[in-house]
Amino acid sequence: MGQPDRDPHGLVDPAEVAFYGNLFISIAEEMGVSLGRTAYSPNIKERRDFSCGLFDGDGQLIAQAMHIPVHLGAMPRSVDAALGAFADLGPGDVVMLNDPFAGGTHLPDITLVSRVFVPGEDTPIAALASRAHHADVGGMSPGSMPSAREIVQEGFRIPPVRLRRSGRVDEDILSLLLANTRTPEERGGDLRAQLAAHETGARRVVEAAERYGADELDRRMGDIVAHGERLMRAVIQRIPDGRYEFEDCLDGDGVSDGPVTVRCAVDIEGDGAVVDFAGTDSERPGGINAVAAVTLSAVYYCFACLLMTPAEEETPPDVPINGGCFQPIEVRMPERSVVSAGPPRSVAGGNVETSQRIVDVVLGALSQALPGVVPAASQGTMNNVSIGGWDHRHDRPFTYYETLGGGMGARPDRPGLDAVQVHMTNTLNTPVEAMEFAYPLRVRRYEIIDGSGGPGLHRGGCGLRRELETLGSCQVALLTERRKTRPYGLAGGGPGAPGRNRVITDGAERDVAAKCSVELGPGDGLIVETPGGGGHGTPTASKEARDPCRGSDSTDD
């Protein structure tokens, strides 16, 4: 055990951390419930694509209601950007932003930031942030995640601005935003839901300050952050010191030729880590560029996994994630690279695709240090499928968006899961029956692809096949990865099978690119096959490895 008196990050009162941890996380969770309950759009209500966070007066993350990994490192950046722009942010003020180059990640994610004051006091006792994925913020195509070359094509960009001043919403700013989306009513409703979440959070913080005292809360927040830091340092301390390097690539950016390399080196020294992406390719014309906030989130996700994966067969520890957890981790990103893009680059795919590859390289590096813990590569893509067109049944336009699961990488002690969302996303699928009721589409097959998981002592998870029939004319946009490169295996395990995209037009089947847009007509088809996960360990003649129904054929078959 640590020696509190020797430790510069000692806890004032270790017996109170859990109690106040419960208090703070329940404030963040109640903000989240308020947002989810009053939001308008299904993307927020049903897919729960939002997060809420409680920060201390200086903007340090105290508690985050955990919904979306890609928001982990991004929320503190939003708070920094908002408080940096408005150092005098006062009671009743709320900052709004979505600029990926100033605290955002990609344009559909709109973040609000506010401060909490005890009535009559001038010093803020806390800050609050809420981030929600809005279904449309303008741009070239519905959904604001087009295959674009510049950010201005992707949608309406909001630098930090004050949406509310002293309790009054700035209608000028709101109407400017609403005039630039395809669904202004829904946007207005969702923003009001976010504002309501901030009121809920502020009320709970003030109540807590009245009950326990503002100074006491401040002290306890300090303890929570110190505790988070100690937890993460304990995790890193167990990683052998050394430099661990890894490199992998994206199939391409959909515009220019050739693969895109992502490289990282993880330096472990004592209880601290440096993750350096030197050697990563420069930013690209196509929209796979990730901004720094996305990269931070992906790195933090990897270390959060180390923190929350139980050593033995136990329930995962109920560990509170806070800003302290990430103090021991320094992230270096070469400027204007695909992991730290700048304006005017397009960035929509950085959030959903490149973030997965960043996880692949960071975990790949860590696997050398922790061979008994880290899994082989998972499918490494979200398989974004957007379909838009005219619904002749209801005489109206429709847009449909889904992401597809695939193979999870094999673990050192067990196989990867089949047909599952991996790493940076965990949203639910759309049921076949729900989809056919709602859109002029029919699902022909939805099944696990036997043999697609990488071979190994433990096989990688298998990908899935989703075959659609289009009942009318429509445009299909695919934003997918791992159609050429394959998810790597570890410790002698083989790679997972790559994914594959095909269309059927006039009865003839043909392959289409990983990132593309195609027109389909009535009776045409789309077949998306998602990648399998990598295998782990040298394949043997063991039953599992040979079982053709479950994994890839092992090499000795």
Q: Is residue 12 part of the contact set for another protein (CB under 8 A)? A: no
Distance of CA 407 to the CA centre of its chain: 18
The least distance separating another protein from the CB of residue 415, rounded to whole angstroms, comes to 10
109, amino acid identity = D
Smaller CB distance to another protein: residue 176 or 438?
438
Closest approach of Cβ 144 to another protein, in Å?
18
Among 436, 475, 513, 544, interactor with another protein by CB under 8 A: 436
Find where tokens 């890609």 sit.
70
Judged by beta carbon, residue 381 or residue 430, the one nearer another protein is 430
Q: Which is nearer to another protein, 4 or 242 (CB)?
A: 4
Do 386 and 401 form a contact (C-beta atoms < 8 A)? Answer: yes
- Find tokens 């996994």 and name the residue: 305
In a 3-state reduction of DSSP, which class is residue 206?
helix
Cα dihedral: 336, 130, 147, 356 (round 10): 70
Residue 417 or 497 with smaller CB distance to another protein = 417
Q: Is the dihedral of CA 78, 79, 84, 86 positive or negative?
A: positive
Near another protein in 398-417, by CB under 8 A? 404-405, 408, 411, 413-414, 417
Q: Which stretch binds another protein (CB under 8 A): 122-130, 306-314, 498-506, 510-518?
A: 306-314
Q: Which of 304, 347, 377, 520 binds another protein (CB under 8 A)?
A: 304
Q: Which residues contact 343 (CB under 8 A, 6 or more apart)?
A: 101, 151
Number of residues near another protein (by CB under 8 A) = 86
> Is there binding between residue 66 and another protein (CB under 8 A)?
yes
Give the angle 310-311-314 at the CA atoms, nearest 5°: 55
The binder of another protein chosen from 12, 22, 256, 557 (CB under 8 A): 22
Which 363-402 positions form the footprint of another protein (CB under 8 A)?
373-375
Pairing relationship of beta strands 384-391 and 474-479 according to DSSP bridges: antiparallel
227 binds another protein per the rule CB under 8 A? yes
The interface with another protein within residues 173-202 (CB under 8 A) comprises 189, 193, 196
**Residue for token pair 């050593």:** 311
Q: In whole angstroms, how close is the CB of 470 to another protein at the nearest point? A: 15
**Closer residue to another protein, CB minimum distance, 25 or 260:** 25
Question: From the list 448, 504, 520, 528, which residue makes contact with another protein (rule: CB under 8 A)?
Answer: 448
Closest to 540 in 3D by CA, of 556, 518, 516:
556
**One-letter identity of residue 190:** D
Do the Cβ atoms of 154 and 148 come closer than 8 Å? yes
Please list every residue from 68 through 97 that binds another protein, using CB under 8 A: 69
Candidates 126, 123, 99, 98; CA nearest to 112 is 98
State the nearest-atom distance from the C-beta of 469 to another protein, in Å: 11
Binding to another protein, residues 474-533 (CB under 8 A): none
